[in-house]
Amino acid sequence: MAASDTSLQVLSWAVPCQIYPNLNFTSSLPFKYSLKSAKKGDYGTILRKGRGVTRYHEGNRVMKGVEHVRGQEPGNWSKSFKCNCIRAESVIETFSKDGSKILMIENQSYEATEHLVSEKEGLSSNNGSAHATENNKTTITGVAESLEDEAWKLLRESMLYYCGNPIGTIAANDPCVANTLNYDQVFIRDFIPSGIAFLLKEEYEIVRNFILHTLQLQSWEKTMDCHSPGQGLMPASFKVRTVPLDGDESATEEILDPDFGEAAIGRVAPVDSGLWWIILLRAYGKCSGDLSVQERIDVQTGIRMILKLCLADGFDMFPTLLVTDGSCMIDRRMGIHGHPLEIQSLFYSALLCAREMLVPEEVSANLVQALNNRLVALSIHIREYYWIDLKKLNEIYRYKVEEYSFDAVNKFNIYPDQIPPWLVEWMPKKGGYLIGNLQPAHMDFRLFSLGNLWAIVCGLATTEQSHAILDLIEAKWSDLVADMPMKLCYPALEGKEWRIITGSDPKNTPWSYHNGGSWPTLLWQLTVACIKMERPEIAENAIKIAEKRLARDKWPEYYDTQGARFIGKQAHLFQTWSIAGYLVAKLLIANPTAANILVNVADTALLNAFSCALATPRRNRPRKGTFQNFII
């Protein structure tokens, strides 16, 4: 069978389990389980057998089965269990002529029978289970010493293992909930604070595994009914499934099962996943000093695939990324289709990170050029047209409409009546923010925290604007932070607006969930932004507020009501990114320079390009392609 045929066949089944016969390996495999070649000459697929493991998996989301297996059959693993998995870093992706991805193992052969090399800290702590005690405190096999210790224990308990190796953290790990929906999966966006926490703790393995395994999912065959979404898309989430092995009743194997939105509520495409992946990849390199991951051919290809998807030409007139509703952290209908700020901030950030990581080579030359052009255009667009403060509001209030000309002041034909009455009173004298969305004849004046905070972190907002955003957060503390940092968006949609825009979504009722709910995970982005602007005291105050309730309330996913007084109606408890977000905030406050792994600072070349572009009057600005003058 030709290699590409084999690849197609196996890719539709399990990742990563393809092993190619033309490559030999001699290195030992640091697996938890003994490994053994199943059938010689079958491209070396390594299997994992054993009813004990399967049974255990059925009842448990996290791979606690490792302990169980050891307890059940000590000394007998090499006979009973075979793993189909290989270390992520030894998998090389390449592409066949038909465009399908082929996975190959570097320098490996298949007669490997190895024992577990070492017990890892994270795995051993997987043993304990979180449970609520009578006095409402969480204990994990012992007494939690401090809030941070408790958070670390919970974070470790949420770790998911693939063939014995940590690969991510599940979204929520509430032992009291039977119907977890898909919260027992590793969400790409949810893992980011977990990954950062592990990086800051110098525990790099889980992040490296996550990066490399999700990369392999990137080209997974994905379909929505009869339609296949674009290559380069990263899944929203994935899970580890133990499945019976074809042709061998007593054998099972583990597979990674991604969800690109085909199963997600509302079938939303996770546009943010790939962008976050790039941001984490850069943070991994900066923090660990291990640049070999980002330099790998398959990783470089992965970066390029994401960029190609984002930079592809469409019908857009704007440099902002055009997406459907619910394509990011707000992953259901909330009226954020079009050009939502969160996506634009992540896009800008990912472009900068990718620019730093792309190895200069011919194949990337055009892409880098397109990327640079987009960076300039995107920043001008957002800084000019998304920004509002009292002065700008007053300008909009006096806008002329129906202007037909290149030099129109009111380019998007915004009718001044769109300024919502709440904003007229609410906008402080000092401060401002980037609006949620901009479309023809439509400004979404809601404040979305994540987009604003990340615009500070990545430098999409100017220094002045960044300070003004923090000024506004301080001035509107009781609305945006209140009893729990912080509001995902402000204000909530109510009444008719809620009915029309959310489609009467009972989960997004006013001041709940995405519609004005408060999300503790945002603490980490707030902290990075404050540290970047050298105003850490703002984050410190927010952390103090969170500390009063987070553990007591069992680390909820979100809070409801205008003042964030109630635990969210349908909020999951022991929500991993609430836990990890808190940890990252604490770690960064203790060591602010570490925030550099996330912060982007525009270099001189880029700054020159911005000022050049801005100094050129609109009429004289170059048409598409000629921004190459600004190529860096």
Residues that bind ligand GLC (CB under 6 A): 171, 183, 187, 189-190, 329, 331
- Residue 573 Cβ vs ligand GLC, minimum distance, rounded to whole Å: 12
CB-nearer residue toward ligand GLC: 150 or 190: 190
Separation CA 63–CA 206 (nearest Å): 14
Residue 456 and residue 466 in contact, taking contact as beta carbons nearer than 8 Å? yes
Q: Which is nearer to ligand GLC, 90 or 449 (CB)?
A: 449
How near is the Cβ of 549 to ligand GLC at its closest, in Å?
A: 19
**Cβ closest to ligand GLC, residue 331 vs residue 444:** 331
CB closer to ligand GLC out of 187 and 630? 187
Amino acid of residue 219: S
Closest CA to 316 of 438, 459, 446: 438
Give CA–CA dist 235/551, Å, rounded.
Answer: 30
Nearer to ligand GLC, 293 or 564 (CB): 564
Distance CA 351, CA 601 (A): 12
Could you tell me the smallest distance in angstroms from the CB atom of residue 526 to ligand GLC?
Answer: 17
- How far is the CA of 196 from the CAs of 31, 173, 192, 534, 580, in angstroms? 24, 19, 6, 20, 8
Q: Which residue is nearest to ligand GLC (CB)?
A: 171
Rounded to 5, what percent of the chain is helix, strand, coil?
Answer: 45, 15, 45
CB 210 within 8 A of CB 197: no
Q: CB of 632: closest distance to ligand GLC in angstroms?
A: 34
Shortest distance, CB of residue 272 to ligand GLC, whole angstroms?
9
Q: How far is the CB of 256 from ligand GLC (least distance, A)?
A: 18
Q: Which of 351, 310, 315 minimizes the C-alpha distance to 327?
A: 310
H or E segment to which residue 617 belongs:
none
- 105 vs 486, beta carbon nearer ligand GLC: 486
**Least spacing, CB of residue 561 vs ligand GLC, in Å:** 18
And the tokens for 163? 């063939």
Give whichever of 16 and 270 is closer to ligand GLC, judged by the CB atom.
Answer: 270
Range 66-97 burial, b when 16+ CB lie within 10 A, else e? bebbbebeeeebeebbbbbbbbbbbbebeeee
Quote the CA–CA distance of 529 and 380 in Å, as a whole number. 20
- Residue closer to ligand GLC by CB (options 432, 581) is 581
Q: Name which of 217, 229, 293, 211 is nearest 257 in CA terms.
A: 217
- 609 burial type by CB count under 10 A (0-12 exposed, 13-18 middle, 19+ buried): buried
**Residue 187 Cβ vs ligand GLC, minimum distance, rounded to whole Å:** 4
CA separation, residue 289 to residues 179, 204, 281, 286, 292 (Å): 41, 10, 12, 5, 9
Q: How far apart are CA 461 and CA 501, in angstroms?
A: 28
If 0-12 CB within 10 Å is exposed, 13-18 middle and 19+ buried, where does residue 134 land? Answer: exposed
- Cis, peptide link before residue 506, omega less than 30° from 0: no
Closest CB 189 distance from ligand GLC, rounded Å:
5
Closest to ligand GLC by CB, 173 vs 219, is: 173
CB of 171 to ligand GLC, least distance (A): 4
Q: What's the min distance (Å) between Cβ of 331 and ligand GLC?
A: 5
Nearer to ligand GLC, 299 or 323 (CB): 323
Kindly tell me which of 32 and 189 has the beta carbon lying closer to ligand GLC: 189
CA–CA separation, 232 and 109 (whole Å)? 30
